[in-house]
Amino acid sequence: MFKISPIAALLSVLLPASVLAQSIEGTVKNSDGEVIAGASIKVEGSTNKVVTDQTGRFVIDGLNIGNNEFHIAVPGYAHLHQDVTLAKDENKSLTLTLSRSPIEVIDIVSTPIHMSVMESAAPVNVITGETLRRQQAATLGDTLEKLPGVQTNFHGNVASTPIIRGLSGPRVLIAQNGLDVSDVSRVGPDHSVAAESSTSQQIEVLRGPATLFYGSGAIGGVVNVVDGRVPTDSTTRGEWLLENSSVNDQKLASFNATTGTDSFGFYADGYWRKSNDYEVPVEAEAGHDDHDHDDDHDHDESHDYTVENSAEESSGFTLGGSYLFDKGYVGLAVEQFNREYGIPGHSHGDEAENVYADLAQTKVQLLGEFNIGSDWIKKVNLRTGFTNYEHAEVEAGEIGTLFESQTEELKVDVIQNTYLDWNGGLSLHYKNSEVAAQGEEAFTPPSTAQTIALGLMEEKHIGDVLLQFGARVERVTLTADNVLLPMLEAHGHEEAHEDQDSDEHDHEDDHAHEEESNITRVFAVDHEFTPVSLSAGLVWEFTQGYNLGVSISRSQRAPSASELLSFGPHIGTGSYEVGALFGMHQEDGETHIELTEKTIDLETANNIDITLRKSQGDLAFVFNVFYNQVDNYYYQTDTGLFAESGHDHEEDEHDHGAEDEAGHDEHSDELPVYIFQTQDVILHGFEAQVAWQVTSEFKATVFSDFVRARLKGGGDLPRTSPMRFGTQLSYENENLSAHLDITRYQKQDKITSTETETDGYTMVDASVSYDVPMFNQDMAVYLKGNNLTNTEARVHTSFIKNVAPRPGRNISVGVRGYF
Amino acid sequence: MKSIKKPFQLNLLTAAISSLLLYGCGDAETTIIEKEPIVVPDEDDHDDDHGDDEFTIESMGRLAVLSADSNQAVVFDLDDNQLLDTFSLIHNSNSLTASADYRFAVIASRSNDYVGFIDSGMWREDHGAHLHDYEQAPEMNHLELDGSRPTHIVKHDGHMAVFYDGDADSGIPAAVQVLTDTDISSEISNIHTLDYPVNMHGVAEPVGEYLLSTVRRDDAENTSAAKILPDQVAVYHLHDGEYEQEQILEVLCPDLHGAAQNGHAVLFGCSDGILVAHQHDEEFEAEKILNIEGLNGLRIGTIYGHEESETFIGIAAGHGGGEAILVKIDPENEEMETLEWQPAADASPVSYAFAYEGEAFLILDSKGFLNILTPHDHDGETHWELAGSVDISEEDVSTMPEGMKFSMTVAENGHYVYVADPIAQHVLQVHIEDMEIEGDIELDFAPANITWLGIAEEAHEDDEHDH
């Protein structure tokens, strides 16, 4: 007996609880006593989910003895959490009352603890459904830019990426169904994100540090693109869309469909989009008093007012299937993603030469959920991904630079049973990515990054207070066998940059360059980082319908390969990039770049977020302030030196003889040298959103966001998103929905010495959609207008603001259907 | 490099954070191992206005060394004097020279009817818009020439002519094959060939599409004392990959031996003087500079010429060595005269060469002296005078092993000559103008011969004999 008891204990953990005979029935109503149809009622920690019928009624069987936590959600209402305690074989009947919420509340999928715009300590946004379809754009950055706290780095309509509270690049992780999207969009603003909005179901944004859930690359936030590629049920449903836009003659077709049998679910989606160069209200190139981009874009005399080389064509399809069983599902999906787009501003002094990117990705995801239902473990979520990515930059018909990456990832979330009112789980994460680039812009050597992480997230309700805690420890290794340190022949330009004699570099009159040596030093570099992230937060519902959220966190990030190991020209940013592994040395009046003497350390963000919300009633709001101090922040500083871009010089090519390469040695082929350094940085700001449901049809929202990003020692960070405010008016009845969005972007004058101020502008967008039920389908025709005043809008956060303003007035016509 | 844990910078908000949170201190560790550096083409040289230099390589070049002890050749990198590779050769008795553009070491084994090539790994390609240099590891080329008795290998302006003497005993006639470095690197199968009806100990000088090659007439007609030596020179022209005879020079050249050219004139050594051929349009004209008294009855059997030098140096010696008399041959003025400097009686010359711009003529002698002659103009005539001698050996030269000798090779991209010493088993780097030894390469074997390989500084002609 003595020996058996531990085994028995172990068995009791693993075995499902006994047969469940408890049930509940009830009705869902709103505060006016009207029944609500279509409300989804989910039992936490199970796949048990029902939807209320036309009379608002529901029945759920098979509940646990003891406490059951219900989560009731329906569009237009605040979510409701209800705990119901059941005795053995008890059947309860109850009425659930939901309050209106003018701010749409959608839960984040795929975090072990509960998160939504209204109910989490840390701020999140989710867009889904019609809002997503209305705002979706060709690029992820442009799709999300209407969310408070999120702006786009607008890269000429082709490669925009989201900026969250002033942070982007290697600090914002882009995920697809919770797994790293695995492209090279984090290293260059001209690299497109390999995720598509038009086939997605919802897009989640975690503003502020999210390393707890996603690891090192998420110190500034996460964007998770969610779709139903691995179906969790087999209800037949689908969606299709056809659209044509005037400003760039864009044609878009997309669909997604799910069906299946009792045991198997099937999913397919696909899209195709093609656009021409987009029109702009003014000449694409900004006034000639700007020199911060070195004017490498040759001035075009024509007056057709388009942004040259901004055409795009992309397509993708996904097939998925899953096995559905009582206690969960497991399924596999394969996606092929192709995109070909021009890179505006990516010219090399030669006008005739249009550079375009051709990217292709194959993504395999295996997702599963297992409701173990043992005494201790409620369920296990499994996510596995494998991606193979290739991205070629093609010029004059030849591949100039080829980026390749391969990622394998595994995430296992073990969700515990409620224990002393604590909910949450343990998260195991493994990710291995190999990135290589070859060609003229292969500024970063091939490297392998590996992450192994263990995280714990827990939450607990104590009266009116929800406590949320999290901790995560990672081991990040970054290995590069051939880090190159060429003898850089850099030199100063006194005449062109007299406006930047900052104290950072002294102005030498003589050229600081190496004369004879052609030796490239080679290093095998091995970094091992152990970032630790901790967070604590609470949501206090201090009075009915209002809550106060406070979240504090300390997050660490391992610097990325491009930040550490780069050494070479990067035309996408118009600079010659040198990683933080290297440093500048002054010797005999000459500047040399050698290995740095500084310690390569983690970046650490200490962040506090305070959120005040009113979640119910005709008027709702979310106010958010944050203060984020990032110690050891990796950023690029101008060295004042210039180096040759190395363009046109392909040493691995032998058939060059016939080609006319005259004039490749022009001065315009030179790039300013930027080196990665670290400094302490402070970012602070706010987001505010107030929504007023004036009548059941009419709603008005105002919002604003602001971020100030500065060096602690004085000075600003470049390309910081400007302050913004706007209104969104909507009218929705049975068949018609109309929206009018007016957004004011303020002037940005907090700039670095290498940028220029950017004027403010006002964007006016409108859309009308009309439902026309046909062929037993829900169909809607819609008309969308963007930039209706046809204003010149240059985006301060864009690397190419001087050559690619936002598109001019655009009218899109489309039709979409649901079944 | 180990991280240093920094305390939090105190300010109100972070103080609040740190008081609430545990100190979760991350760790960061970086390991950097420096590897062998790579020497890259100087592509970033933006200060230079001509695009040529974008792709060219600054290098001292490479050195092939043939072992006297074994059938082995090695290649050194002259930038750091590091051994790059060792090659085992098929045969035992070999000679060594460079190909026409100095990319390949040419290994010839006369008695084994074999010519093979070692790729030095350094060469230049003309890409039209620019010159493109390459620097790769040396390797054995797979091309092998199997003509009978390959003897004189003559290079001029990118062409290398291999003269196969043929073999009277087995009735194999003579032949000439002409190859460029590109032919060798592409391991060409249909080599431009001139086939003779008889064997001879002849020589061929490539002049662009033309080939000036010796003709052995019937023994009855042949004016040579030794009938194996030809007494005529014919002009052959390349048509469809074959050399066709277009002209026979009218001037006879009995006991023809030795040839050289400098771009203006092609010289052949005859028992009675020097045959000089000039090209006029499509035609070649010949004349003879008769032997002078100063030769003491000896004949000139070896001639050295250089593109940059109007005058040639002829070597008159009795058959089988012995006393050598050096003469200047001036084809423009149809003049021959003995040099002021002559080798000492007890120091016989073992190797001769023009320096790479023709600015000096070098004579290495058996005593271990490198004698440097430079040209001087006196009343429109060129005189070669001794500029100095460099003692290149500290060894007792009498201990020179049987059958071995000093040897040298001239760099084609700078004022250096490399001298191999079989006694000391090293190669010295000598600066020709400064007349100083500037470096050495230690060997673990006795060198039989050496040759410089790499990218010649200018496309200048050089003409050298190899026996």
Contact B24 A536 (CB under 8 A): no
- Portion 57-76 of B in contact with A at CB < 8 A: 57-58
Run means of pLDDT, 10 residues per run, chain A, 819 residues: 48 45 82 81 74 84 79 78 80 81 71 73 84 87 89 86 89 89 83 87 86 83 90 89 91 92 92 91 67 43 71 92 90 93 67 76 92 84 92 79 90 86 88 86 86 89 86 90 77 48 41 51 86 90 88 90 86 81 77 80 91 86 92 86 60 37 46 87 92 88 92 86 92 89 91 85 92 80 92 88 88 90
Contact B58 A518 (CB under 8 A): yes
CA distance, residue A692 to nearest chain B CA (Å): 33
Instruction: Classify the phi-psi angles of B423: left when phi > 0, otherwise alpha if psi is within -120 to 50, otherwise beta.
Output: alpha
Contact A644 B44 (CB under 8 A): yes
Return the residue in A665, A667, A670, A683 with the most chain B beta carbons within 10 A, the one to mutate for interface testing.
Answer: A665
- Portion 556-615 of A in contact with B at CB < 8 A: 556, 558, 581, 595, 599-602, 604, 606-608
ipTM of the complex: 0.70
Whole-angstrom distance, CA of residue A770 vs CA of residue A765: 17
Sheet holding B210-215, edge to edge: B150-156, B159-164, B175-179, B192-195, B242-248, B232-239, B210-215, B204-207
Contact A654 B125 (CB under 8 A): yes
Where do the structural domains in chain B lie, given as residue ranges?
147-290
Of B13, B27, B41, the CB nearest to A627: B13
Whole-angstrom distance, CA of residue B61 vs CA of residue B455: 7
* A781 burial type by CB count under 10 A (0-12 exposed, 13-18 middle, 19+ buried): middle
Chain A contact set for B127 (CB, 8 A): 654, 656-657
Could you tell me if B344 lies within 8 Å of chain A, comparing CB atoms? no
Question: What letter represents residue B167's amino acid?
Answer: D
- Portion 517-546 of A in contact with B at CB < 8 A: 518-534, 536
Whole-angstrom distance, CA of residue A238 vs CA of residue A201: 11
Q: Which residue has tokens 């910081």?
A: A720
Helix or strand (DSSP H, E) at A4: helix A4-14
* B179 burial type by CB count under 10 A (0-12 exposed, 13-18 middle, 19+ buried): buried
Contact B45 A657 (CB under 8 A): no
Of A489, A599, A658, the CB nearest to B46: A489
Of B28, B37, B128, the CB nearest to A520: B37
Q: Which fold has domain B147-290?
A: Lipocalin (2.40.128)
Question: What letter represents residue A511's amino acid?
Answer: H
Instruction: Classify the phi-psi angles of A178: left when phi > 0, otherwise alpha if psi is within -120 to 50, otherwise beta.
Output: left
CA distance, residue B162 to nearest chain A CA (Å): 30
Which tokens is A693 given?
A: 């449901």
pLDDT of residue A507: 40
Distances (CA, A) of A74 to A119, A581, A676: 15, 52, 48
Nearest to B226 by CA among B204, B258, B254: B254
End-to-end CA distance of chain A: 60
pLDDT of residue A518: 66
Parts of chain B with a pLDDT under 50: 1-24, 41-52, 459-467
* A771 burial type by CB count under 10 A (0-12 exposed, 13-18 middle, 19+ buried): middle
Which tokens is B162 given?
A: 């291999």
Whole-angstrom distance, CA of residue A483 vs CA of residue A522: 6
Of B16, B18, B29, the CB nearest to A528: B29
CA distance, residue B93 to nearest chain A CA (Å): 38
pLDDT of residue A269: 93
Distances (CA, A) of A96 to A85, A361, A643: 15, 46, 68
Contact B127 A654 (CB under 8 A): yes
Chain A contact set for B4 (CB, 8 A): 599, 601
DSSP classification of residue A499: G
Whole-angstrom distance, CA of residue B174 vs CA of residue A641: 65
- In chain A the domains, ranked by start, together with CATH numbers, are 20-98 (2.60.40.10), 124-648+667-818 (2.40.170.20)
